[in-house]
Chains A and B, each alone.
Chain A
Amino acid sequence: MNHLVYMSRAVRPLSDQDLQELLAQCRRDNARDHVTGILFYSHGNIAQLIEGEADVIETLFRRIARDGRHSHVHKLVEKPIEQRSFSEWSMAFHPLEAGAFHQLAGFFLPSQVPALPGTLTIADALLVDLVRQAVFGPVRQAGQPAPDAASA
C-alpha cells in the first residue's frame, strides 16, 4: 500500500462542467481500481493525494503525469503506508454555482473538508495541510487545519 502526493497547474481554468465531469470520471475509475484520496482544485492550482496498491498508484500517476489538461506536475512524496486514511476518493473546490454540486457524491467545499484522519503521520498531515494551503490560500479559522496531537 502506497500513497502519493503531487501538485500541478491546470493548462486552462476548469469550468464547473469540467470539474463535474472530472469528479464523475475519477470517482468511477478510482472506485474500480480501489484508489482513495482527495483532490484540491482552485484557480488552476491542483494538489492530490492518492492511496492504493503500489503498482496501481504508480500506473495511475504515470497516466496523470501525461494528462494534457495540466502541467508542472511535481511529485512531492510517494511512500509505503500501513493503512488507508481515506475511505473513498473525493474532490474539494469552489464551484461557480455551488447549488448544483451539493448533491454530488464525493464533493466538498474547501471549507467543509473533514479533518485529516489520525492514521496519517503528522509529517504527512503537515504535507497535506501545506498543499491545501497552497491551493486554497491560508485557512481563516485557527486550529482547523492541524492534526490532532493525539495521533502521534
Chain B
Amino acid sequence: MRDYQLQNILRHMPAGIATLLGPELRYGFVNEAMQVLLGAEAPEGQALAEHAALPEDLLKVMQEVYRTGKPYVVKGYGLPQVNAQEAEEEPAMRYYDLALEPTQPEGEEERGLLLFAVDVTAQEEARQRAHHLALETRRLDARLRVLTETAPLITFTIDAAGHYEYVSPQWYYFTGQPPTADLNAIWPLLIHPDDRLRVLYQSDAAREAGTGWNYEYRLRRHDGNYRWFLSRALPELHAAPDKPMHWHGAVTEVHDQRELADALRRGEAELRFLADSIPQLIWTATAEGLIEYYNQHTAAYSGLSPAELGPTGWVALLDPTEQAGAARRWVRSVATGEDYEGLFRMRRYDGQYRWHIIRARQLTDERGPRWFGACTDVDDQHRLREVLQLQYDELARTNRDLDTFVYTASHDLKQPIYNLRGLFDELRRSATFEDPEQEQLLGMVDESLHQLDVTLHDLAATVQDQRQLAAPTEPIELEHVTEEVLLGLRTQILDAQATITADFAAAPTLLYGRANLRSVLHNLLSNALKFAHPERKSHIQLRSTISETGNPCLVVRDNGLGLTLQEESATDFQRFERQHPHVAGAGIGLYLVQRIVTSRGGHLEVESTVGEGTAFTIHWFD
C-alpha cells in the first residue's frame, strides 16, 4: 500500500524519474514527466537506445556512468521537444538538469541507473535572454559613446556641487588641454573674462534652483581665440525629482551664427541710424502700402509722432487740395508696383507748407514686396525757379518790345527817307548850282540816304530773323533754296559778272528752319558778291559735305578780297563790324549768319587769305 502510494506520487511528480536496468539500459519505472521528455510511452524492458531518439553523447555518458558506477549531473542539457502532432515543425528546445545515479536495488542481480530530470527551460531561456541583453547593451553603449564623442558638440555631466563628472573628448580637442587637466579648475579659466562671472553665477543659480540653463559665452580655443558657445543643461530628475544630483548638458559652438546675427543687427541698426540722420522724410511701407516706419526727421518736420501719423497719416500732411489725388495715385502704385513720384506741398510743424518731391520705390525679394520712400524738401529750389521764371518772362517781354520798337522804328523811318529823297530830287531838278562842288555835295547826300535806307532794311531783317529762330524745322532741298536766293541776287550777280557753281550731292537735304537757311545763304552769297576782287571775275563755289562726326556742312568759297582775321580761325563777327570800309553794306550779314547757326546748335568756321579769297564752312549741327 505504501509502495503503491509512493509509486503514485513518483508517477505524477513534475520532475522526470526513470530507472534503467542492465547494460542495455532497459526501461524500468518511467513516470509521466519522463515520458514527455522521451517523447513516447516507455514500455518496461525495452532498451533506451532502441526506443528513444536521445542524442548520442547523452547515451554514451549514461553508459559510462553505468560502467563506472559514479554518479554524474548534467546542467541545462537541451533536448528537442518531441511533439507527435507537429512533427514537421522545427521542434522547440527544452532544457533539463539531468542527474544520473547508478543503483543496485536490494535483492536484485542487475545494476541499473536512476535518471532524474528537472525541466529548467524557463531558467535557461532567461539566462540566454540576459546574455543577449548584455550584448545589446554593450552595442548600444558603444554607439552612444561614438555618438557622444564624434558629434560636433561637447557633452558633460556635472554634479550638484558644480564638479564635472564627465566631459566628452571634444572639450580636450577644442581647448587643447591635456587629458590630465583638472576640469573643475581649468574650465572657468578658459571662459572669456567678460563672460566668466555671469556664466558661473547663472550655472550656480540654476543648480541651486534645481533647474536647467541655457546661456552663451566665449570659450578659449587651443590657438588662444575665443569662440561663442551655447551651453544648455538639464537636471536629471529620474532619481530625485526635488533635489537633482546631476545635470547633463551640451556646449555647442554658435560663433558663426552669432557673428552673422550680430552683423545683421549691426547692419540694420546702421541703416536705421542712417535713415534717422538724413534731413529728409524717409519711410518704409508694407506690401499693402501701409507705412510701418517713419524716420526721426519726419517727426521733427511734421511735429507728429509715428503713432500719430499712423499707416496713412502722411497724406494728411499734404495741401488739402492735393490729398485726394495723392491718395488715388498711391493706391494705384501699390496695386501695380509702379514707382510713385510727385511734387507736393507738405505741412511743417509750424503750419508752413513747403514743396517736396515724394518718391517711393518697391523692393521685391524673398521677404515679399516692401516700399521705400523719401520726401525731399525742394522748396528753396522751387521758389528760386519761380523767381527765375518771372525774371525770364519779364526779359522775354522786354526783348519782344525792343524788337517791335526797332522794327517799327526802322519801318517808320523809311517814309521820311522817301520824302527826303523826293525832296532832294525835286531840289536837284529845280535848283541850279553855281559851284560844281555844291552839286557834288548833293550826290553825297544821295549816297548817305541810300546807306541809311540799307541800314534800316538790315535792322528790320535782323529783328525778323530773330523771330524766325524759333521756327520749326523741316527737310529742305538745298538746291531749291539756293535757286530762290540766287534769283533774288540776280542784279548783283550780273553786276559782278559772277559765276556760281553748286554741288550738293554729298548732303542734298537739310533739316532746318526754311527762313533761317535762306537768310544764311543770302547773306553769305551777297557778302561774297559784295567783296569781289575788282581785278577778276567773281567765282563762288557752294558745296555740301559730311563732317568727320557725320553731321552735314556747307562750304561757301569765293575768290574775293579776303578778310583780315583777328586770330586763327576767328569766327566772332561783331555786329556792324565792317571788314571793308570802302564797300557798301551795314556789316550785319556775318553777324546774322553766326547768330542763326549757333542758336540752331552749330558753328561757323572761316579761312581767308587777303587778296585771294575766303571760305566759310557752316557746321549746321555739332
Contacts and interface: CB of A to CB of B under 8 A. Distances in A.
Interface of A: 7, 76-77, 79, 121-127, 129-131, 133-134, 137-139, 143, 145-149, 151-152
Contacts of A77: 310-311
Q: Which 8 A-B pairs have the closest CB atoms?
A: A138-B335, A149-B324, A146-B328, A134-B288, A152-B320, A126-B327, A122-B323, A127-B312
What does DSSP make chain B's interface, helix, strand, loop or mixed? helix
A149 B315 contact: no
A137 to B, nearest CB: 8
Given A137-B335, A151-B324, 19 more contacts: A7-B288, A76-B290, A123-B315, A123-B323, A126-B312, A126-B315, A130-B290, A130-B311, A130-B331, A133-B288, A133-B289, A133-B335, A138-B335, A139-B335, A145-B328, A146-B331, A149-B325, A152-B323, A152-B324
B528 to A, nearest CB: 64
Interface in B258-309: 287-290
Contact of B321 (A79, A129, A149): A149
B611 interface: no
A138 B334 CA distance: 9
Contacts of B313: 123
A138 to B, nearest CB: 3
14 contacts: A76-B311, A77-B311, A122-B324, A123-B323, A124-B312, A126-B315, A126-B331, A130-B311, A133-B289, A133-B331, A146-B327, A147-B324, A147-B327, A149-B324
B368 to A, nearest CB: 12
B432 interface: no
B344 to A, nearest CB: 13
* Residue among A77, A134, A138, A146 with max Cβ neighbours from chain B (10 Å): A146
Contact of A152 (B310, B321, B334): B321
B316 interface: yes
Interface in B324-351: 324-325, 327-328, 330-331, 334-336
B310 A123 contact: yes
A146 B335 CA distance: 13
Given A122-B315, A123-B316, A129 B327 contact: yes
A147 B312 CA distance: 14
Interface of B: 287-290, 310-316, 320-321, 323-325, 327-328, 330-331, 334-336
Contacts of A149: 321, 323-325
A129 to B, nearest CB: 5
A106 B320 CA distance: 33
A77 to B, nearest CB: 5
Given A123-B312, A146-B331, A130 B325 contact: no
B316 A129 contact: no
Given A77-B310, A149-B324, A133 B316 contact: no
Contacts of B320: 152
A143 B324 CA distance: 11
Contacts of A121: 316
A22 to B, nearest CB: 23
Contacts of A143: 328
A148 B331 CA distance: 14
A130 B288 contact: yes
Nearest to A121: B316
Contacts of A145: 328, 331
* Residue among B289, B312, B327 with max Cβ neighbours from chain A (10 Å): B312
Contact of B336 (A125, A129, A134, A138): A138
A121 B309 CA distance: 13
A122 to B, nearest CB: 4
Contacts of B336: 138
Nearest to A137: B335
A131 B289 CA distance: 9
Contacts of B314: 123
Contacts of B321: 149, 152
* Residue among B287, B310, B325 with max Cβ neighbours from chain A (10 Å): B310
Contacts of A127: 290, 310-312
Contacts of B288: 7, 130-131, 133-134
Nearest to B310: A77
A16 B311 CA distance: 32
B316 A122 contact: yes
Contacts of A139: 335
B358 to A, nearest CB: 14
Nearest to A127: B312
* Residue among A77, A127, A147 with max Cβ neighbours from chain B (10 Å): A127
Contacts of B330: 126, 130
Contacts of B323: 122-123, 149, 152
Contacts of A146: 324, 327-328, 331
A135 B272 CA distance: 30
B290 to A, nearest CB: 6
A138 B312 CA distance: 18
A130 B312 contact: yes
A124 B290 CA distance: 11
A130 B334 contact: yes
Nearest to B331: A129
B187 to A, nearest CB: 45
